[in-house]
Structure 1
Amino acid sequence: MTQPRQTQDSRIDREWWKEAVVYQVYPRSFNDSDGDGIGDIPGITERVDYLDELGVDVVWLSPVYDSPNHDNGYDIRDYRAINEEFGDMADWERLRDALHDRDMKLIMDLVVNHTSNEHEWFRRSRRGEGEYADYYHWVEGEPDDPPNNWQSLFGGSAWSYDDEREAWYLHVFNENQPDLNWRNPDVREAVKEIVTWWVDRGIDGFRMDAISHLSKTEGYPDGDPEEPGPLGSEHYTFGPRLGEYLDELGAVVPEEAMSAGEMGGADADDAREFVRRGDCLDMVFHFDHLDVDQADDWTDDNWGEWSLPEFKELMTRNQRAVAEPAWEALFLGNHDHPRIVSRFGDDSYRRRSATCIATFLLTMRGTPYLYQGQELGMTNSEFESLSEIDDAMTVGLVEDMLSAGTVDSFDDVREAVNYRSRDHARTPMHWSDDDGAGFTDGDPWLALNDNYTEVNAAAARADEGSVFHHYRRLIELRDDDPVFVYGDYDPLLPDDDQFYAFTRQLDGERRLVVCNWSDEPATFDPEGFTADGAEIIVSNCDDAPADPVGATVRPFEAVVYEL
């Protein structure tokens, strides 16, 4: 899919990455080729034909760099080496070639807000060595007196004291992930060299991790307790020089490459600003639409409660404020979020709610991102104790609450953990109903979901009515029909608490998408709307209503019509 398709509409700015569907691979959990219980690069290569059958255009490969794995690869020790658990550079090159041979592209995670504390840069910096002395954020002080009250996104102070340098260093995430000092031009040059090094090896773009944190407020002032988020986050998120840093980075990202930036704390306005301001970002991952189901506190009992009208309002704002003047990254899940069926669907309607969500996601304007297992309708697991959790963020936050006396035991936050833990997305991929789910011949690094004997790729590929084949048909539809890529978006029934419905229109062609996003039947009857001559393009149920207006739509039924 290298050539943008033609449309008659002169307003359309056509790009290959707008027409692509992206599939995220979390290597540790995707496929294990050597039986050690950990997914690896040769295991991914073994499954390239599966991805080709699904029809995706781009593989986003989560970090495979050399790492001590304090945050599962997002703590990088060497940007130019492959983690030996995953293979070596020759294995990576074989994966790249296997994807390119099938006309699929490869994008890599670019993690440059921070490194591992085992990176050579940090080892030299803690010794105060030459040009590296100022590669990180260091503040001199006493061991019991951190520079300010900033809190880490992973819990606890955002500062750790280093005995060797006798100074404090900043880490927005885990203490093993010191933040790079982007004020230092040598740091920026080093990062640009990394970008060029990987581009020279034939990758097709980057997913840029945590880039909203690159710039920090000068002087490290105390955080305001009245501001949302962890204390001080207003000083290390969207800092004063962020745009400047992104512009400089964008200068070395090739024009034909795809670039998507993760911006925690961003809303639609932020996303539009940073996509349109320069050459660095084609689209932004922002998370305002994923806040609709979040409780105020880990001990609250209302985790998972959300309103469809509020969700529609946010998505419509994204479509109008981001996707039309700029471009939108369409996603509901990734390695940092629970499984979308358990979160936004209904496990008791697993197949139908999974295909309903798929229909919504793949008919919106923007570039859709699928996370591994999403195409199978994989669901959340159930964790009985903190010892079952690997996720550094969940463990850090829970241990912080336990030590502070905010909670007395894991049971006090068990509901929240079982709703929001990142480990839900990291349980191994289900390939078959064999022991190890076809993921491994050994002991998996993280426990399998118990339902792998029913929910797996082998069963799904053999069933034409499966979640997998619904995704495959929708991807094929999107590939064939430019209306779903470039067409205008117009919502219907914005205040309805059951239907998410909208039209897409381009060059006089109109499509209608009707999703009953609820566990009760409902009558679809928008005031003044007619669908005479409607033809069903795709549906997740047999015997879908030929004329949707006035029809009863079953729970989680989703139908796409040509008008």
Structure 2
Amino acid sequence: MEKNWWKGKVAYQIYPKSFNDSNNDGVGDLKGITEKLDYLQDLGIDILWLSPVYKSPFVDQGYDIADYYAIDPIFGTMDDMDELIMEAKKRGISIIMDLVINHCSDQHEWFQKALADPNGEYAEYFYFVESENGVPNNWRSYFGGSVWDKVPGTNKYYLHSFHKAQPDLNWQNPVVREKLFNMVNWWLEKGIAGFRVDAIMNIKKDLSWSSLPSDGEEDGLVTVDEVLAYAQPIEPFLTELKEKTFDRYNAFTVGEVFDETGDELQFLIGENGMFSSIFDFRPILLDRKGKRWYTFEQSSANALKETIYKTHKLTDSIGILSTIIENHDEARGATRFIPAEDISDTSKKALATLQILRKGIPFIYQGQEIGMENQTFDTIQEYDDINTINEYHVAISDGLTDEDALHAVQKYSRDNARTPMQWTDQEYFGFSQVKPWLLSSHPNRQINVASQINDATSVLSYYKKLTALYRHALYGESIRSGVFRPVYESVDHLIAYERVGDRRVQVLINFSNQEQRITLEEAYTELLVNNLESINQGGLELYLEPYQALVLGY
């Protein structure tokens, strides 16, 4: 592949368990994805990111990998994977996979051999730390509780930044690194185009294993992400990974990185950066007013606008961001960003306009393009996600009622994005003929592909209009690579920007439930997109209806 082939592309994320079930066992699979490639091509997708399909016990839904070289039987076979790669290429779609190399599954043969001989070679593949007086320190895992679990029959503890079934791999060990690099290259040789790189900043460690002051929670622990500030430099590891794998194949890589600074951006996505791109999580992080889900609050339109403007000012001279409003780890974007009373097809289209036309690589998450919203689960027992269950129990232990704890997890649970793709309004949504592995008891059946695919006014049709702009004969270059420039910054609740290249494209979004009046600086040449059927304009005076979004060509 050519270098930087991925610039100006549109990407789509698939959560394979919940996309399309071809063999009617209640679980999505690789053949099910292949069946829907024409749908994805019609949507305007260039890059397809698959969440993990490797062999796994699914303690954390595939992010606990037991064999990096095998497809889990619930998804099909390696032949199915080869067919998917081949058929996608025929349609101009490149496949990228999830690369989970901070940790593996406790069922991986390396860890099983380490447990069998805690003083042997394979123990060095992980972090086995001797401690006579209990756990080595007060670090808290991302899923709650200590990062340490005891190695049976010893005074040693093994490190797991996430679930105890996800032991951290020892990147200090050159043998481990080389085996991981060989695996990455094996997949690239097979024909995938790159990787979304999971939790990668966690591979660096504070090898002193020192305790830190508690972050104020009753358990006396400190979240492991705060420990990263004291960790060893990550640069040597990522440089070696890039040089020995990604660079050899011109692979597209997008890193899962949070809270990056300006200096880190240069290293991560600069001219010689470690990754092609990283995700822009800043809009999603806006509602995190505290450490727990029950403390989160919905952000305002003005806060969203400020964050996006600041992000582009910080980033655009350095490298390319990948934009999202939702993914498999987050609640649905429509529910997160739009006040409940304002959720409608119009406001969903406004949110889509905001994301898709920003500078960067837009990632659409399955179901986002039809406007899927958060799901309703009546009891905690209906949830599958381990993080949701932990947040619920933390809320209860902090004194919340069952009703309030459920309300908090209902809004932010990862399961909101993991229920089946809604292809039709049938009992199981056209996803399967049998009960799916995860199912809300109160789904909104009106939101489905079948009802929208031939409706020119639907959310799905609107997404197609937005992605088509990337291929527009006059304005496509500006959308794909043009400069991002904020406009009308002082207008309350108006999120507005230009994309400037060979031509100029202006994006105006009234992200509120009140009419907005603005005065254009000059007359536009062409109305490219309007999420409503009409436009209220007198000369240069423009009256934007609630949640109206306009894309103007100059």
Q: TM-score, normalised by structure 2?
A: 0.93
Deviation (angstroms), 1:273: 3.1
Tell me the equivalent position of 1:107: 96
What is the alpha-carbon distance in structure 2 between the residues aligned to residue 26 and residue 419 of structure 1? 19
Tell me the equivalent position of 1:359: 353
Tell me whether 375-384 or 390-399 shows the greater mean CA deviation. 390-399
Query: Of 260, 266, 275, which aligns to 2:260?
Result: 266
Q: Does 1:431 align with 2:423?
A: yes
Q: Does 1:498 align with 2:488?
A: no
Q: Secondary structure at the match of 1:438?
A: coil
Q: Secondary structure at the match of 2:320?
A: coil
Q: Does 1:325 align with 2:314?
A: no
Tell me the equivalent position of 1:417: 409
Q: Deviations over 1:87-131 (max 9, x none)?
A: 110111111111011111000000000000000111112223643
Q: Does 1:535 align with 2:526?
A: yes
Contact 2:213 2:222 in 1 (8 A): no
What is the alpha-carbon distance in structure 1 between the residues aligned to residue 23 and residue 261 of structure 2? 43
Tell me the equivalent position of 1:472: 464
Amino acid at match of 1:90: D
Tell me the equivalent position of 1:290: 284
Tell me the equivalent position of 2:364: 370
What is the alpha-carbon distance in structure 2 between the residues aligned to residue 350 and residue 209 of structure 1? 33
Tell me the equivalent position of 2:547: 556
Tell me whether 332-341 or 411-420 shows the greater mean CA deviation. 411-420
Contact 2:276 2:320 in 1 (8 A): yes
Contact 1:263 1:285 in 2 (8 A): yes
Q: Secondary structure at the match of 1:146?
A: coil
- Correspondences of 1:168-187 after superposition (within 5 Å): 168-187=157-176
Query: Of 483, 496, 507, which aligns to 1:488?
Result: 483
Contact 1:220 1:235 in 2 (8 A): no
Deviation (angstroms), 1:297: 5.2
- Correspondences of 1:192-341 after superposition (within 5 Å): 192-225=181-214, 230-236=222-228, 239-251=231-243, 252-253=245-246, 254-267=248-261, 270-276=264-270, 278=272, 280-296=274-290, 298=292, 300=294, 303-341=296-334
What is the alpha-carbon distance in structure 2 between the residues aligned to residue 88 and residue 543 of structure 1? 50
Change (3 A) 1:91 1:502: same
Identity %: 34
Deviation (angstroms), 1:138: 1.1
Query: Of 105, 116, 124, which aligns to 1:134?
Result: 124
Q: Does 1:33 align with 2:25?
A: no
Q: Secondary structure at the match of 1:219?
A: coil
For structure 1, list consecutive stretches of 5 or more residues without a partner in the other structure.
Answer: 4-13
Query: Of 154, 161, 185, which aligns to 2:150?
Result: 161
Deviation (angstroms), 1:223: 2.3
Tell me the equivalent position of 2:518: 524
What is the alpha-carbon distance in structure 1 between the residues aligned to residue 534 and residue 329 of structure 2? 37
Tell me the equivalent position of 2:504: 510
Contact 1:269 1:321 in 2 (8 A): no
Q: Deviations over 1:469-491 (max 9, x none)?
A: 11111111112211012111111
Amino acid at match of 1:514: L
Contact 2:293 2:391 in 1 (8 A): no
Contact 1:362 1:478 in 2 (8 A): no
Contact 2:12 2:364 in 1 (8 A): yes
Q: Does 1:387 align with 2:381?
A: yes
Change (3 A) 1:237 1:186: farther
Q: Deviations over 1:151-209 (max 9, x none)?
A: 01111111111214541111111110011111111111111011111011000011000
Contact 2:510 2:546 in 1 (8 A): yes
Q: Secondary structure at the match of 1:18?
A: coil
Q: Deviations over 1:287-331 (max 9, x none)?
A: 23222112325475x644212222222212221222332111111
Tell me whether 64-73 or 458-467 shows the greater mean CA deviation. 458-467
What is the alpha-carbon distance in structure 2 between the residues aligned to residue 478 and residue 183 of structure 1? 43
Deviation (angstroms), 1:232: 4.2
Q: Secondary structure at the match of 1:513?
A: strand
What is the alpha-carbon distance in structure 1 between the residues aligned to residue 85 and residue 395 of structure 2? 43
What is the alpha-carbon distance in structure 1 between the residues aligned to residue 38 and residue 440 of structure 2? 24
Deviation (angstroms), 1:234: 2.5
Change (3 A) 1:67 1:163: same
Q: Secondary structure at the match of 2:165?
A: coil
> Alignment length, in residue pairs?
544
Change (3 A) 1:468 1:443: same
Amino acid at match of 1:139: V
Q: Deviations over 1:330-366 (max 9, x none)?
A: 1111000111111112554321111111111121111
Q: Secondary structure at the match of 2:552?
A: strand
What is the alpha-carbon distance in structure 2 between the residues aligned to residue 293 and residue 542 of structure 1? 32
Tell me the equivalent position of 2:58: 69
Contact 2:495 2:508 in 1 (8 A): yes
Deviation (angstroms), 1:17: 1.1
Amino acid at match of 1:291: L
Tell me whether 68-77 or 219-228 shows the greater mean CA deviation. 219-228
Tell me the equivalent position of 1:9: none
What is the alpha-carbon distance in structure 1 between the residues aligned to residue 82 and residue 428 of structure 2? 27
Change (3 A) 1:532 1:547: farther
Tell me whether 537-546 or 29-38 shows the greater mean CA deviation. 537-546
- Correspondences of 1:422-461 after superposition (within 5 Å): 422-448=414-440, 450-461=442-453
CA RMSD in angstroms comes to: 2.2
What is the alpha-carbon distance in structure 2 between the residues aligned to residue 429 and residue 165 of structure 1? 46
Change (3 A) 1:411 1:64: same
What is the alpha-carbon distance in structure 2 between the residues aligned to residue 318 and residue 179 of structure 1? 31
Contact 1:304 1:343 in 2 (8 A): no
Q: Secondary structure at the match of 1:338?
A: coil
Change (3 A) 1:506 1:546: farther
Tell me whether 219-228 or 509-518 shows the greater mean CA deviation. 219-228
Change (3 A) 1:93 1:191: same
Tell me whether 249-258 or 197-206 shows the greater mean CA deviation. 249-258
What is the alpha-carbon distance in structure 2 between the residues aligned to residue 434 and residue 401 of structure 1? 36
